[in-house]
C-alpha cells in the first residue's frame, strides 16, 4: 500500500419502511429507491425494514449492474429486514440475532416476530480490511413509559460486543442502521464507549440536510406527530458510525440527509430520512493515530455508562422476574380451579358448567405457563448481559486503578483477581 494511500467510500443508509400490507406507496417507493441508487452508484447501500424478500429480489435484479454484490439477512419469523448492496464483493458474511427483542404477546408492536439482528460483511478494498455492520434495534413506542428499554440496552450491548469481538483484524469499521435511540440515550453511549465508534454527524465539517441531523422529521408526509412524541421538531435515530484502527484514519468529508422529500423533492422514499456519507480512509503515521488506549477521563466515562447500563438491566431483570412470579401464581390458581372443576364434574349439581369451564381454564394454565417460560428466558438473557457488563466494569476499574494508583494496582494484579 502506498504511503499516500487514500480511499473514498460513499455510503447510503435508509430505513425503508417496506412492510407488506402496511406501508403506503410501497411499490412506488421501492422502484424510486432503486432508480436513485443506480444513478448515485454508492460504494455501499445499507437498508433496514425491507420486510418483503420479494422487494429485495426486485432491487437485487434492478441494481445488479451497479451493485454486483448483495445480501439479505434472514432471521426470526418475518425476517431481520436488513440487506446490503455493494459495488465490491463480500469476502465474508455473518449475522448475530439479538437474544432479547420485545414480547410475543405485544402483537401490535410486532418487533418480537422480526428477529432483529446485526449483519456483518467483510470487504477487502485496495488491501484494506473493511468490516461493515448493519443493524436495526427494537423500536421505542413511548418515551415516557418505555417498556422495551432494558431490551434495547441489552441489544446495544450485544451489538457492541459483536463488533468488539469480530473486528479485531479490521482496518476500518463502519456501522450503519436504525438504532432507535437518540444520540445521548444510554444504549447509544454504551455502544460508542465500548467500541470507540464515532458519529459521522458530529464529526463532519460539511453537513447538509434536516435540522440537527434528524432522521424522522415532521415535514415527511409519512410521519405522524405521534411518531415523534415529545420531539415535534424531529428525532435522530439513524446513524453512520465509524472508526479506523491499526495505522489508518478515517474522516467524514460530507454528510447529507434527505429532508422529508426524496432527493428530487418528490414524495419521500420512506418515513425515515436517508443518510449519505462520503468517507475518506488514509494512512495515519503512528504519532497521529487516534489513541486506542483510553486515558483516565475516557476510562471514567466508560465506567459511568457501564454502571448505568448495569443498573438498567437490573431493573429489567426485576421486572421480568415479577412477571414470571405473577404467571406462576396464575398457574397455581388455575390448577386449583381445575381440581375444583373435577370435583364439581364428579357430582350432579353443576356438571355441565364444570365441563364448560374446563377447556378455557386449561387454556389459561397453558397460556400462563408460556408467559412464565418467556419471562424466565428474558431474565436469563438480561442476567447474561449484566454479567458480561460486570466483567468489563471490573476490568475497567482495575485499569483505572492501575493508572491512578500504580502501587496498589500492582499488588492487586499480583493477586490475580478473579471475576
Q: Which of 26, 88, 136, 243 binds a second copy (CB under 8 A)?
A: 88
Answer yes or no whether residue 20 interacts with a second copy by CB under 8 A: no
Q: Which of 264, 272, 375, 410 is catalytic?
A: 272
State the maximum Cα–Cα separation within the chain, in Å, rounded to a whole number.
94
Backbone phi, psi, residue 166, to 5°: -105, 0
Q: Using CB under 8 A, which residues numbered 150 to 209 contact a second copy?
A: 161, 165-166, 168-169
The least CB distance from residue 220 to a second copy, in Å, is 31
Query: Exposed, middle or buried by CB within 10 Å (0-12, 13-18, 19+), for 367?
Result: middle
Neighbouring CB atoms inside 10 A of 53's CB total: 15
Q: Are 99 and 381 in contact (CB under 8 A)?
A: yes
Answer yes or no whether residue 23 interacts with a second copy by CB under 8 A: no
Closest CB to a second copy among residues 80, 257: 80
Q: Which of 208, 264, 351, 391 binds a second copy (CB under 8 A)?
A: 391
Q: Using CB under 8 A, which residues numbered 98 to 117 contact a second copy?
A: 99, 113, 115
Answer yes or no whether residue 388 interacts with a second copy by CB under 8 A: yes
Cα 10 to chain center, whole Å? 22
Answer yes or no whether residue 416 interacts with a second copy by CB under 8 A: yes
The least CB distance from residue 3 to a second copy, in Å, is 25
Q: Which of 59, 120, 320, 396 binds a second copy (CB under 8 A)?
A: 120
Number of residues in contact with a second copy under rule CB under 8 A: 52
Query: How many angstroms separate the CA atoms of 380 and 247, rounded?
Result: 40
Answer yes or no whether residue 384 interacts with a second copy by CB under 8 A: yes
Q: Measured in Å, how far apart are the chain's first and last C-alpha atoms?
A: 42
The least CB distance from residue 273 to a second copy, in Å, is 29
Answer yes or no whether residue 359 interacts with a second copy by CB under 8 A: yes
The least CB distance from residue 92 to a second copy, in Å, is 7
Order of all β-strands in the sheet with 92-97 = 92-97, 117-125, 128-136, 172-178, 238-244, 198-199
Query: How many angstroms separate the CA atoms of 181 and 192, rounded?
Result: 12
The least CB distance from residue 36 to a second copy, in Å, is 20
Q: Which of 8, 264, 351, 395 binds a second copy (CB under 8 A)?
A: 395
Answer yes or no whether residue 412 interacts with a second copy by CB under 8 A: no
Quick one: which of 312, 27, 293 has its CA closest to 151? 312
Residue with cell 398457574: 331
| Contact region with a second copy (CB under 8 A), list: 140-148, 207-215, 249-257, 387-395 | 387-395
- Whether 272 is catalytic: yes
Q: Are 181 and 152 in contact (CB under 8 A)?
A: yes
What binding mask, one character per residue, do residues 56-85 give for a second copy by CB under 8 A, x or -? --------x---xxxxxxxxxx-x------
Residues 6+ apart with CB under 8 A from 182: 188, 235, 236, 237
Query: How many angstroms separate the CA atoms of 386 and 313, rounded?
Result: 6
Distances (CA, A) of 216 to 37, 88, 181, 237: 21, 30, 12, 8
Q: Which of 22, 27, 93, 336 binds a second copy (CB under 8 A)?
A: 93
Quick one: which of 275, 234, 238 has its CA closest to 255? 275
Answer yes or no whether residue 351 interacts with a second copy by CB under 8 A: no
Query: Exposed, middle or buried by CB within 10 Å (0-12, 13-18, 19+), for 99?
Result: middle
The least CB distance from residue 245 to a second copy, in Å, is 11
Quick one: which of 147, 106, 10, 133 has its CA closest to 66? 10
Answer yes or no whether residue 227 interacts with a second copy by CB under 8 A: no
Q: Which of 38, 284, 300, 377 binds a second copy (CB under 8 A)?
A: 377
Closest CB to a second copy among residues 253, 307: 307
Answer yes or no whether residue 373 interacts with a second copy by CB under 8 A: yes
Instruction: Return the active site residues.
Output: 272
Residues of this chain that interact with a second copy (CB under 8 A) are 64, 68-77, 79, 88-97, 99, 113, 115, 120, 161, 165-166, 168-169, 355-356, 359-360, 362-363, 373, 376-377, 380-381, 383-384, 387-388, 391, 395, 416-419
Amino acid at each position: 500500500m502506498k504511503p499516500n494511500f487514500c480511499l473514498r467510500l460513499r455510503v447510503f443508509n435508509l430505513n425503508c419502511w417496506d412492510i407488506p400490507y402496511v406501508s403506503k406507496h410501497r411499490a412506488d417507493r421501492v422502484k424510486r429507491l432503486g432508480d436513485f441508487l443506480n444513478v448515485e452508484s454508492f460504494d455501499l447501500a445499507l437498508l433496514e425494514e425491507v420486510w418483503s424478500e420479494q422487494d429485495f429480489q426486485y432491487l437485487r435484479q434492478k441494481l445488479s449492474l451497479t451493485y454486483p454484490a448483495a445480501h439479505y439477512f434472514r432471521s426470526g419469523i418475518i425476517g431481520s429486514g436488513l440487506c446490503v448492496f455493494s459495488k465490491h464483493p463480500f469476502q465474508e458474511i455473518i449475522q448475530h440475532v439479538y437474544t432479547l427483542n420485545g414480547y410475543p404477546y405485544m402483537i401490535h408492536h410486532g418487533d418480537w416476530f422480526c428477529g432483529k439482528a446485526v449483519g456483518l460483511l467483510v470487504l477487502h478494498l485496495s488491501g484494506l480490511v473493511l468490516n461493515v455492520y448493519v443493524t436495526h434495534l427494537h423500536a421505542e413506542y413511548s418515551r415516557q413509559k418505555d417498556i422495551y428499554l432494558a431490551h434495547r440496552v441489552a441489544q446495544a450491548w450485544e451489538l457492541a460486543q459483536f463488533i468488539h469481538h469480530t473486528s479485531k483484524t479490521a482496518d476500518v469499521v463502519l456501522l450503519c442502521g436504525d438504532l432507535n435511540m437518540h444520540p445521548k440515550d444510554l444504549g447509544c453511549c454504551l455502544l460508542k464507549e465500548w467500541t470507540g465508534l464515532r458519529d459521522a454527524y458530529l464529526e463532519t465539517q460539511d453537513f447538509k440536510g434536516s435540522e440537527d441531523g434528524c432522521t424522522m422529521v415532521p415535514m415527511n408526509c409519512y410521519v405522524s406527530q405521534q411518531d415523534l412524541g415529545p420531539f415535534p421538531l424531529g428525532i435522530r435515530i439513524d446513524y453512520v458510525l465509524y472508526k479506523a484502527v491499526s495505522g489508518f484514519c478515517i474522516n467524514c468529508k460530507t454528510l447529507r440527509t434527505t429532508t422529508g422529500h426524496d432527493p428530487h423533492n418528490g414524495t419521500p422514499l420512506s418515513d425515515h430520512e436517508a443518510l449519505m456519507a462520503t468517507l475518506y480512509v488514509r494512512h495515519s503515521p503512528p504519532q497521529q493515530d487516534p489513541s486506542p488506549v483510553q486515558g483516565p477521563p475516557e476510562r471514567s466515562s466508560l465506567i459511568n455508562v457501564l454502571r448505568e447500563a448495569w443498573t438498567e438491566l437490573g431493573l429489567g431483570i426485576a421486572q421480568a422476574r415479577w412477571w414470571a412470579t405473577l404467571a406462576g401464581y396464575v398457574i397455581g390458581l388455575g390448577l386449583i380451579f381445575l381440581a375444583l372443576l373435577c370435583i364439581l364434574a364428579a357430582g350432579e349439581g353443576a356438571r355441565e358448567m364444570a365441563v364448560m369451564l374446563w377447556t378455557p381454564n386449561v387454556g389459561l394454565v397453558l397460556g400462563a405457563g408460556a408467559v412464565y417460560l418467556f419471562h424466565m428466558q428474558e431474565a436469563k438473557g438480561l442476567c447474561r448481559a449484566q454479567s458480561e457488563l460486570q466483567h468489563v466494569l471490573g476490568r475497567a476499574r482495575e485499569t483505572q486503578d492501575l493508572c491512578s494508583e500504580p502501587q496498589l494496582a500492582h499488588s492487586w494484579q499480583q493477586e490475580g483477581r478473579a471475576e
